[in-house]
Structure 1
Amino acid sequence: MKDRYSVTNYSVQSILGLIESEDIAIPEIQRPFVWSSTKVRDLVDSLYHGYPTGYLITWKNPDVKVKGGGTSEGKTVLIDGQQRVTALMAALAGLKVLNDDYESKRIKIAFNPLYEGEDTPFAVLTPIIEKDSKWVSDIATFFSKDFSTFRFINDYCGKNPECDPDLLDAKLTDIRAIATRQLGCIVIDADCTIDEVTDIFIRINSKGAVLSQADFAMSKIAADEAHGGSMLRKAIDYYCHLAVKPEFWSIVSDRDPEYMASEYAQKAEWLKSDHDNIYDPDYNDVLRVAFMHEFGRGKLPDLVALLSGRDFEARDYKGEIADESFERLKAGVLRFMDRNNFQDFVLSLRSAGFISPQIIYSKGAVNFAYNLYLTLRRNKDIPSTDVKRWVQRWYVMSVLTGRYSGSSETVMDRDIRMIAEQGFFTVYENVVAARLSDTFWQVELPQKLETTSTRTGAWLVYVASQVKEAANTLFSGGVKVSDVVATIGDIHHIFPRNYLKKEINAPQSLYNQVANYAYLEKRINIKIADRKPGEYFTEAKNACLSGSEYFGDLTDSDSLMTNLTDNCIPEGIFGMGAEDYEAFLAARRRLMAKKIEAYFKGL
């Protein structure tokens, strides 16, 4: 069997030289540097003392056939060790790195040749250290091309007369030896797929880290300057950063004229005044949606293969496939970023009741829903006014069934292909008939509500159903569930937790069942305290009949009964105590399931 990788050693100086000459691409150099300055210092110290610093891993892009019969050699990409190499370039070569706001900053590591102790002669530069003549403020000085050992010794000893020139010379030899320290480099074969690269990565990485498919794809994109990959990757990064921090636009517009002149900036500018946080995508989300929508595939490794020029039938690599794939990916990214598309999709989630990040399910479900939105918008047979409705129903179905939870690429890929082959409506009807049958609504869904997790799809859809119908919180005549849904503290135990612990010694797994939860104003919750449900519900009923004051806002029996129905409270609650708790849970789960069913069918 052919070896899938080879191992070689490079000196630090050689690695930095290969990167400077662009023989090895280091995509992370264009993104915020996540290491702390202290971690940079520790890496330098390890190299100084000759300690191992782990392997670098590179992957060579496959060579591609170009028109005319020639071959274009693929570029080698550094896929693991990017932070280490960036740290070395910052500390030894004086390279500026980007902080979280994409500002270029120097990380200066100081060195004390006269240091004596068990710790380290290196330190992150501070104003105090900079004023101390014993410290050299920036070790990059030692690795510059015009560095003179003779001049440095004379100058340093002049400032520090107690220094022994011979000892200083030895120290300089030691620190400059960092450039000749050997780094192990694993070179993965160009024919390896992303799955094989990931497997090799996991087996070699002693920390058990996982190589993200999206990280791999972004590295591949950024390294391809011939297709504008660097700008595309930057555009994706900026867009995702702006989605979370709209104020970042002022920094981008001031400091990156190249980006501002691109079509990506025009697509992203609207985010500078957008503060909606229902769907704040990261680069994984952007890549997946753009790829699914534009290529009709759901597996991200296929994107890496296509960007490499992979011809799946001929089993080789062709330049025209790489050209087309980059153009299609760019088009998909621009459609993702488009203000009308993005805001209209988010509006479809909001109008279905998903108004807060707290009740948004998995990113996988949201990503597929956005892909579906973009796909249906291009279908001339579906009126644009109906697109949101169908997206809502598919999203709710996928949340209720957990369709895109966990490792969902295969399911997404299958769904995309079926929709392309059979048409959306045929696939939708078949999926709903198979997954949302009467048995689901009557048996499976109540079972899904038998949980303590407020992140389960059934509970989230239940809350969305209350939001959509503008239901009031329990015992309230004016405060909506939508007003308090983002505040976890406003979830109330209908059977108070302390009451259940006292009466039946109920464990957390029992009193924290989601069927025991209802949204409730804190002031009302405080007044109810730890009372028996039959007692405080009866108090509310009697007060509404007599017009007397009590802990709630409702003032008549009809309003109270409507409120209890909206919150799926069983009719027998007025006589219930701890001995009825499990029967209450079963009854309320059935009511919640019926509400969810009516909500779904009414979308």
Structure 2
Amino acid sequence: MAGEYEKALTIKEAIDAINNRDFLLPAIQRKFVWSSHQICVLFDSIMRGYPINTFMMWEVNDDEIKNGYKFYEFLSSYCQRFNEENPIVKTNAGFKNFKAIIDGQQRLTSLYIGLCGTYAYKQPRVWWPNTRDDNALPPRKFYLDLASALDSEDDESLMLYNFKFLTDKQYQNAAENPDSTHHWFCVHKILEMPQVEAPNRIWSGVLQPYIEDNGLQDNQFAKDALGQLYDVIRSIPVIHYFNETSQQIDHVLDVFIRTNSGGTKLDFSDLLMSIAIAHWDGDFRQELEDLTKQIHQSSDMGFYMERDWVLKTCLMLCDVDVRFKVRNFKSEQVELLQTNWKAIKECIKQTLILVRRFGINPQSLTSKNAVIPICYYLFKKQQDGKALYESINNLAKHYEQREVISRWLYMALLKGVFGGQADTILSSMRDVLSKHIDDELFPLDEIIERYRASNKDLRFDEDYIDSLLSIQYGEGRCRALLHLLFPEMRETEVFHIDHLHPKASFELQKLKANSVLADDEELMNFFSKPEHWNSIPNLHLLNDSQNISKKDRPLDDWLSDGKVNLTPETLLVNGVDLRFEAFPEFFATRRQALRDRLKSRVMMSTTLPAEPSDDDSDEEVVEEALA
């Protein structure tokens, strides 16, 4: 290793270096991934004098490296999902020498956001927007509560200092509340305070005026906390770092991978990026960003697909080993990926459009990896001399193909087969698909046979069928199950899940007011249980006009409306009393009819399959709003 440990820096000196572009990020770095809570813990550790580990810098002074490799600025205005990418810096031979951060990006970015920027994450119980929306993801500045310390016994993180990201509204509400027990100090202000050269004048010249102006002169904790914050940011050198001076990119790449392997695990895409960047003709990072944004913001798709997923799909389609191994990402494989990049992008988009037409929305796509085999099949399957993805969404063609593919996807989502060992099942799925790529239709029967009696068995048994029919409204698998049960739904329409007997009718107050139920405890108990009125037998897919007309109308009244275009027969309750008081008969009849239909739509087994693994759906940052 070429280099040595340098003199430690204060945090303010590091922030100044970031602002002056003396510190940049190499393209091999992952995106910023720390949660707001991790940032709070970092600042608490610094305030308490805990070590925050050594940083590693790469001193870049070679013109060829400045010309040939990409570097990025630090992120200051972070917004979950919508502003996670660092702005690129166009370096060239004339650009000044600088240091690239090899180890410590997450910590330095956290310090920079806390002291200079904002952090936006989704409000609890709010749907993800398709575009950046400050109402759903409000920017938050970083604050320290000077009023009092945290009770470490009540705090799971054992923090002493109460750091928190607050929206402007939360801060104003606290500031204007005369009963508030907090005094929130914006951490940005510590860098805005005047510079005092004599250490003995910091208190009287800088800190004491703030304490007195805000009525905190009798609060010893406030005095100590503000003084400690000033010291650890502006006076005490806490940034210890090793400066790597080698200009050999292979050596630096090896250092990067070894250094980062012990911390937060590198994303799949980050390791590929660390090698691909040297061989890609153009800005590979921007290509991925543009594709994921287009997928997310398109009304025909709307899915949030991480770049990890895109790159795993790329490797799958290029018949490259999909496993997380650096040695698999050689220059020839990157060149193969780039050669096919235009077709791969289009295939991914057409596949996701197809999945959306199957009725699967972002909330019900509980396993994104389940889409990858469909991508592979559409990419490799030739139809009329062209790849199938080019025409699969032409509704005048390929009806039977879409029907078989949709059945496979619904079954895979319902069984949760991609929840664990995703790389293994993707590889084996690729083997099955490639062997049967010349078959007329998607090889559903062969796939089922391949995983028979394994923990990825796609077959259903009697007990599993019963468990599916007990799925509740709002569960991720609910939509997939209803589409599997009712495949005749038009591909061009948007469908909503709604209760046939209205949800409002089962409110306890209304049930108690019903004279038929009032004197029958057993009947009242049946009506009041959500596993009856809120499960699949009382749910159906309605198009926009049907959903609007339904509202809270009683089922018998609604179906008598000639504009509804639904009948008891299509709902599988022909000859059943549809009045609300006869709900038990309706429930039993429809549940049995759905059970029979479901058994005809899937492959059955007499052996109980393994429980589905946890799915790989998105994890959301959900933190409680400030009370």
The TM-score, its normalising length taken from structure 2, stands at 0.53
Partner residue, 1:366: 371
Give the Å deviation of 1:234. Answer: 3.2
| 3-state DSSP of counterpart to 1:486 | strand
Question: What is the CA deviation profile of residues 248-267 of structure 1, one whole-angstrom value per residue up to 9, with x for unaligned ones?
Answer: xxxxxxxxxxxxxxxxxxxx
Question: What is the CA deviation profile of residues 474-517 of structure 1, one whole-angstrom value per residue up to 9, with x for unaligned ones?
Answer: xxxxxx9x55x335577857996857986061333344331232
Q: Is the 8 A contact 1:492 1:518 kept in 2?
A: no
In the superposition, relative to structure 1, how do residues 243 and 489 fare at CA in structure 2: closer, same or farther (>3 Å)? farther
Q: Is the 8 A contact 1:493 1:517 kept in 2?
A: no
Q: CA RMSD in A?
A: 6.4
Flag the structure with larger Rg.
Answer: 1
Q: Is the 8 A contact 2:8 2:238 kept in 1?
A: yes
Q: Which amino acid in the other structure matches residue 535 of structure 2?
A: Q
Give the Å deviation of 1:414. Answer: 0.9
Match of 2:269 among 198, 217, 228: 217
Give the Å deviation of 1:232. Answer: 1.8
For residues 584-599 of structure 1, the aligned pairs below 5 Å read 584=589, 586-593=591-598, 596=601
Match of 2:107 among 84, 102, 110: 84
Question: What is the CA deviation profile of residues 164-206 of structure 1, one whole-angstrom value per residue up to 9, with x for unaligned ones?
Answer: xxx9999987654432455899xxx969999x988x65xxxxx
Tell me how far apart the structure 1 counterparts of residues 10 and 191 of structure 2 sit (CA, whole Å). 13
For residues 92-491 of structure 1, the aligned pairs below 5 Å read 149=197, 175-180=233-238, 201=263, 215-218=267-270, 221=273, 225-228=277-280, 231-245=283-297, 274-299=298-323, 301-302=324-325, 304-307=326-329, 321=330, 323-331=331-339, 333-338=341-346, 341-351=347-357, 353-354=358-359, 356-357=361-362, 359-376=364-381, 380=385, 385=391, 390=401, 393-401=404-412, 402=415, 404-407=417-420, 408-421=422-435, 423=437, 425=439, 428-432=444-448, 443=462, 446-447=465-466, 449-454=468-473, 455=475, 457=477, 460-463=480-483, 466=486, 468-470=488-490, 482=493, 485-486=495-496, 488=498
In the superposition, relative to structure 1, how do residues 495 and 435 fare at CA in structure 2: closer, same or farther (>3 Å)? farther
Which has the larger helix fraction? 1
Give the Å deviation of 1:411. Answer: 1.0
Q: Is the 8 A contact 1:110 1:122 kept in 2?
A: yes
Tell me how far apart the structure 2 counterparts of residues 59 and 413 of structure 1 sit (CA, whole Å). 38
Partner residue, 2:215: none
Match of 2:525 among 505, 523, 539: 505
Give the Å deviation of 1:423. Answer: 4.0
| 3-state DSSP of counterpart to 1:563 | coil
In the superposition, relative to structure 1, how do residues 135 and 410 fare at CA in structure 2: closer, same or farther (>3 Å)? closer
Give the Å deviation of 1:593. Answer: 1.7
Partner residue, 2:49: 50
Give the Å deviation of 1:525. Answer: 5.8
Q: Is the 8 A contact 1:13 1:179 kept in 2?
A: yes
| 3-state DSSP of counterpart to 1:405 | coil
In the superposition, relative to structure 1, how do residues 161 and 293 fare at CA in structure 2: closer, same or farther (>3 Å)? closer
Q: Is the 8 A contact 1:91 1:107 kept in 2?
A: no
Tell me how far apart the structure 1 counterparts of residues 577 and 228 of structure 2 sit (CA, whole Å). 85
Tell me how far apart the structure 1 counterparts of residues 530 and 227 of structure 2 sit (CA, whole Å). 68
| 3-state DSSP of counterpart to 2:419 | coil
Give the Å deviation of 1:294. Answer: 1.6
Partner residue, 1:564: 568
| 3-state DSSP of counterpart to 1:452 | coil
Tell me how far apart the structure 1 counterparts of residues 451 and 503 of structure 2 sit (CA, whole Å). 31
Q: Is the 8 A contact 1:26 1:78 kept in 2?
A: no
Q: Which amino acid in the other structure matches residue 425 of structure 2?
A: V
| 3-state DSSP of counterpart to 1:565 | coil
Q: Which amino acid in the other structure matches residue 408 of structure 2?
A: M
Tell me how far apart the structure 2 counterparts of residues 110 and 496 of structure 1 sit (CA, whole Å). 46
Tell me how far apart the structure 1 counterparts of residues 584 and 187 of structure 2 sit (CA, whole Å). 76
Q: Which amino acid in the other structure matches residue 486 of structure 1?
A: H
Question: What is the CA deviation profile of residues 28-87 of structure 1, one whole-angstrom value per residue up to 9, with x for unaligned ones?
Answer: 68x578766x9868745642541344x579999xxxxxxxxxxxxxx99857x5332213
| 3-state DSSP of counterpart to 1:235 | helix
Question: What is the CA deviation profile of residues 516-548 of structure 1, one whole-angstrom value per residue up to 9, with x for unaligned ones?
Answer: 3235647656342xxxxxxx7xxx5xxxxxxxx
Q: Is the 8 A contact 1:448 1:458 kept in 2?
A: no
Q: Is the 8 A contact 2:280 2:335 kept in 1?
A: no
Q: Is the 8 A contact 1:278 1:357 kept in 2?
A: yes
Q: Is the 8 A contact 1:465 1:596 kept in 2?
A: yes
Tell me how far apart the structure 2 counterparts of residues 391 and 231 of structure 1 sit (CA, whole Å). 35
In the superposition, relative to structure 1, how do residues 566 and 436 fare at CA in structure 2: closer, same or farther (>3 Å)? farther
Q: Which amino acid in the other structure matches residue 514 of structure 1?
A: I
Q: Is the 8 A contact 1:9 1:184 kept in 2?
A: yes
Q: Which amino acid in the other structure matches residue 49 of structure 2?
A: G
Q: Is the 8 A contact 1:236 1:283 kept in 2?
A: yes
In the superposition, relative to structure 1, how do residues 282 and 405 fare at CA in structure 2: closer, same or farther (>3 Å)? same
Tell me how far apart the structure 1 counterparts of residues 110 and 305 of structure 2 sit (CA, whole Å). 28
Q: Is the 8 A contact 1:244 1:280 kept in 2?
A: yes
Q: Is the 8 A contact 1:222 1:230 kept in 2?
A: no
Give the Å deviation of 1:153. Answer: 6.7
Q: Is the 8 A contact 1:446 1:590 kept in 2?
A: yes
Partner residue, 1:263: none
Tell me how far apart the structure 1 counterparts of residues 209 and 587 of structure 2 sit (CA, whole Å). 84
| 3-state DSSP of counterpart to 2:559 | coil
| 2:539 counterpart of 1:514 | no
Tell me how far apart the structure 2 counterparts of residues 161 and 517 of structure 1 sit (CA, whole Å). 64
Q: Which amino acid in the other structure matches residue 406 of structure 1?
A: G
- Unaligned runs of at least 5 residues, structure 2: 59-98, 122-131, 134-138, 150-159, 173-184, 212-223, 244-252, 512-516, 604-627
Q: Is the 8 A contact 2:25 2:101 kept in 1?
A: yes
Q: Which amino acid in the other structure matches residue 538 of structure 2?
A: N
In the superposition, relative to structure 1, how do residues 572 and 177 fare at CA in structure 2: closer, same or farther (>3 Å)? same
| 3-state DSSP of counterpart to 1:85 | helix
Q: Is the 8 A contact 2:499 2:534 kept in 1?
A: no
- Unaligned runs of at least 5 residues, structure 1: 1-7, 61-74, 129-133, 202-210, 246-273, 308-320, 472-479, 529-535, 541-549, 599-603
Q: Is the 8 A contact 2:315 2:321 kept in 1?
A: yes
Number of aligned residue pairs: give it: 460
